[in-house]
Structure 1
Amino acid sequence: MADTPAVTADSYCTNTAPVPGIVRTVNAKNTGPKFFHLHGRRYDACWCGKEVSLTERDNLRRHKPPQE
């Protein structure tokens, strides 16, 4: 893919802007205390092809691109 973002020396994706579109929210409130940390977490896709959670400022968290 030509629009693939650059990768740093330690194999992390340099992209912080999510792909425009629908943000997926995980509702795991009823799964119990073990998975309560997932409740309300928002996910969006990166240009590298990975789905990553968003920060409070709607930026992608630091992540590694998928292995080919």
Structure 2
Amino acid sequence: MADRPAATALGYCTNTAPVPGTLRTINAKDIGPKFRHLHGRRYGICPCGKEVTVTERGNLRRHKQPQE
């Protein structure tokens, strides 16, 4: 992909903003206690193509770009 954000020397993506319109919240309330820790977690898609959790400030967490 030619439009990937830059990466650090260790392979971490330097982008912190999710693609607009890709934020979603996981509703895992009714699937049992094993998955209760997932309930309410927010995910967004990075321009590099990876789906990453979003912080309270709306930024993507630190992540590595997917390998081709």
TM-score (norm 2): 0.88
- What is the CA-CA distance between 1:55 and the residue it aligns to? 0.3
What are the within-5 Å matches in structure 2 for residues 1-68 of structure 1? 1-68=1-68
Could you tell me which runs of 5 or more consecutive residues in structure 1 were left unpaired when the two chains were aligned: none
Q: CA deviation at 1:29?
A: 1.1
Q: Which runs of 4+ in 1 moved over 6 A?
A: none
Once residues 66 and 45 of structure 2 are traced to their aligned partners in structure 1, the CA distance between those partners, rounded to angstroms, is 12
**Structure 1 residue 18, shift from structure 2 partner:** 0.7
Q: Percent identity at matched positions?
A: 75
Query: Relative to total residues, which structure has the larger helix share, 1 or 2?
Result: 1
Contact 2:54 2:60 (C-alpha < 8 Å) held by counterparts: yes
Over the aligned positions, Cα root-mean-square deviation in angstroms equals 1.2
Paired residues in the alignment total 68
Q: TM-score when scaled to structure 1?
A: 0.88
SS of the counterpart of 2:36?
helix
Which structure 2 residue ranges, 5 or more long, are not aligned? none
How much does 1:58 deviate? 0.5
